[in-house]
Amino acid sequence: MSWRVPLCDLNFDDAEREAVLRVLASKWLSMGPETEAFEREMAEGLGVAHAVAVTNGTAALHLALLAAGIRPGDAVAQPAVNFVAAANMTLAVGAVPVFVDAESPGAPWIDPEALARAFRERPGRIKAVVVMHYGGYACRMVELRGLCEREGAVLIEDACHGIGGQALDAEGRAIPLGTWGLAGCFSFFSNKNMATGEGGMLVCASEDLAHKARALRSHGMTTLTWDRHRGHASGYDVAAHGFNYRIDELRAALGREQWKKLPAANEARRERTRSYLARLQPLNARGWRFVGQDDRVLDQSSAHLLAAVAPDAETRDRAAQVLAEKGIQTSRHYPFLPDFTAFHGSVGPDALPHARAFCECVLTLPLYPGLSEQAIDEMARELL
């Protein structure tokens, strides 16, 4: 089935085509100069010391947890409203995910008060907190970072929605999402604000963390094929049990073009979000809410998702059906994670009421830089 109005769309033009052709002409396809430039440009733009490009956002999360020293048996607190990658990678390092409730049924972000309770209930066990900037809107970072510092847990940002977004610190400075904690993880999957097909980036201030992540990205080897090709190294040692999480030059070249376009692309997303919010406002009186509508500062967000929260699951399902009949694609970000078969039993039946209620009522509407005003008008007419 092909949708007349898809949920997301690529923001590609001749720049991406030429970037890929440039790499093909160079005849160097695996990690090399494009990747180095991509890492340097993103690190500079984000104002962070290190950027490590990887094969996808999930790999970035895996490397962040490993390089942060998370060990078998440790607990890793994380939001229940999230894509499954952070929970899977927690299990991959032998640790235990502790799902934390959302702020409210209309606000999916990890709740600082619920996190504080999780720390109290498991003294000394939670070694890391993975936060996720749902929809591109920042979590309550000042409180969350303060809590992690007090409890001695490392803070990792699953910033896959938040690239190009910011949040204010206690002094009122705008700090890029992904640079608040020990490590930030980005994804360049096709439906993200920056798309390379598959791709990801880990960013951090710590030289030690970057060094570990770089080694684990490439089998734990001490030199790269690219270094040996240039005569900078001849042999190698294997100093850790690593993986092959390398990105390739085609994707790195795509990523460099997407990074250049990101400020304008995010502004286009914010403009379309403003149009949606203005047109859908009458739905508030019928119990609908929109993520980013209230206290979340739209101007600082990366506006990754337009998430509508229906008054109940039935209304949500009916709205999805009405739009589907018009060829308009919608989705649900996300199903309640502990309901997945692989996570059965991870929380009690009445646990996490805010997260569960959000997941039962959320409907994500199309949002991308090229989405037309007419399409937004049409969706509003169908929903009102």
Name the DSSP class of 77: E
Q: 187 or 383: whose CB is closer to ligand PLP?
A: 187
Q: Which listed range, 53-61, 91-99, 207-215, 265-273, lies at the site for ligand PLP (CB under 6 A)?
A: 53-61
* CB half-sphere exposure, 198, CA atoms < 13 A: 10
Interface pattern 188-207 for ligand PLP (x via CB under 6 A): -x----------x-------
By C-beta, is 67 or 380 nearer to ligand PLP?
67
Among 34, 101, 158, 257, contact with ligand PLP (rule: CB under 6 A)? 158
Among 81, 95, 160, 204, binds ligand PLP (CB under 6 A): 160
Which 232-291 residues touch ligand PLP, going by CB under 6 A? Answer: none
Site mask, ligand PLP, residues 66-105, x = CB under 6 A? ----------------xx-x--------------------
Helix (H) or strand (E) holding 374: helix 373-383
Q: How far is the CB of 299 from ligand PLP (least distance, A)?
A: 22
Question: What b/e sequence results for 316-348 when a residue is b if at least 16 CB atoms lie within 10 Å of its CB, and e otherwise?
Answer: beebbeebeeeebbbbbbbebbbeeeebeebbe
CA dihedral 311, 316, 317, 319 (to 10 degrees): 120
Q: Which of these ranges, 55-63, 97-105, 276-284, 292-300, lies near ligand PLP under the rule CB under 6 A? A: 55-63
Euclidean distance between CA atoms 195 and 108, whole angstroms = 24
CB of 58 to ligand PLP, least distance (A): 3
- Smallest distance, ligand PLP to C-beta of residue 56, A: 3
Nearer to ligand PLP, 61 or 328 (CB): 61
Q: How far is the CB of 192 from ligand PLP (least distance, A)?
A: 6
Contact partners, residue 266, CB within 8 Å, separation at least 6: 136, 164, 165, 193, 302, 303
Q: How far apart are the first and last CA of the chain?
A: 26
Determine, following the binding rule CB under 6 A, whether residue 367 of this chain makes contact with ligand PLP.
no
Least distance (Å) between residue 141 CB and ligand PLP: 16
Query: Can you name the residues that pair with 96 across neighbouring β-strands?
Result: 75
Window 287-316: residues binding ligand PLP (CB under 6 A)? none
78, 187, 273, 364: which one binds ligand PLP (CB under 6 A): 187
- Greatest Cα pair distance in the chain: 69
Stated as kind and residue range, the H or E segment containing 109 is: strand 107-110
Distance CA 307, CA 367 (A): 10
Q: What are phi and psi of 101, to 5 degrees?
A: -70, 160
For residue 98, the minimal CB distance to ligand PLP (Å) is 17
Q: What are phi and psi of 326, to 5 degrees?
A: -95, 10
- Judge contact between 132 and 302, C-beta under 8 A: no
Contact 371, 272 (CB under 8 A): yes
Q: Which stretch binds ligand PLP (CB under 6 A): 54-62, 68-76, 308-316, 371-379?
A: 54-62
Residue from 32, 57, 135, 181 that binds ligand PLP (CB under 6 A)?
A: 57
Q: Closest distance between ligand PLP and the C-beta of residue 354, in Å?
A: 18
Positions that interact with ligand PLP (CB under 6 A) = 56-58, 82-83, 85, 132, 158, 160-161, 187, 189, 200
